Amino acid sequence: AQSVSQHNHHVILSEAASLELGCNYSYGGTVNLFWYVQYPGQHLQLLLKYFSGDPLVKGIKGFEAEFIKSKFSFNLRKPSVQWSDTAEYFCAVISSGGYNKLIFGAGTRLAVHP
Amino acid sequence: NAGVTQTPKFRVLKTGQSMTLLCAQDMNHEYMYWYRQDPGMGLRLIHYSVGEGTTAKGEVPDGYNVSRLKKQNFLLGLESAAPSQTSVYFCASSSRVEELFFGEGSRLTVL
């Protein structure tokens, strides 16, 4: 069965530090990949997505992710985090069964201290 | 434009009680989903629907039923609630080629 692994469950950073959150997926075929963010008490919002083309994807709020097919990875990065980036981040892949069904990783809680 | 709306936002049930969560979307999306979110487990798909009148099981369907009588609504039912169903439930919708849009969640506690 397909799966998504997020390596870090909790990350604590100071403002202006750089961020990289790891994500690996198990499916070897064509994949559509996403990063969603959930701010405290809110619903999930799309940060960025990869369907095809340039493997370096730019998202909202200065986030980017790089799709590396050979490593089955889709890591999320931001050069300089802000306190407002404190949230939980989820990596997801569309299931091979279609219908846009998403398989989520367990999530990474990011806390940014001023 | 409300997007995806879930009701109720909070509910407390006793073991064995039943309830229904309502999800409504105003984006004319074909696909709708119910997920549950539990700490350390991410979101897991309960049931989904690919069109009016259709439903299908997801990853964790046991103990839940769903119905999609109208394209814009997707109902999630618990016939006999159990403490293991204490969770935050998220509804989502999508068109065939877009990402999922999520509702604000419904927090359910089963005592």
Contacts for A41 with CB less than 8 Å, ≥ 6 apart: none
Q: Decide if B33 touches A, using CB distance below 8 A.
A: yes
- Cα–Cα distance measured from residue B104 to residue A103, given in angstroms and rounded to the nearest whole number: 19
- Best of A42, A46, A90, A99 to substitute, by most chain B Cβ atoms within 10 angstroms, is A99
Closest by CA to B29, choosing from B58, B43, B50, B5, is B50
The pLDDT-based confidence of B1 (bands split at 50, 70, 90) is: low
Strand extents, DSSP E, B65-105: 65-67, 73-78, 87-94, 101-102
Using CB atoms, which residue from B40, B58, B90 is nearest to A44? B90
pLDDT band at A78 (very low <50, low <70, confident <90, very high): very high
Closest CA in chain B for residue A43:
B104
* Rounded CA separation B1/B22 (Å): 18
- For residues A23 and A50, give the distance between their C-alpha atoms in angstroms, rounded to a whole number: 13
Quick one: average pLDDT of A66-85? Answer: 95
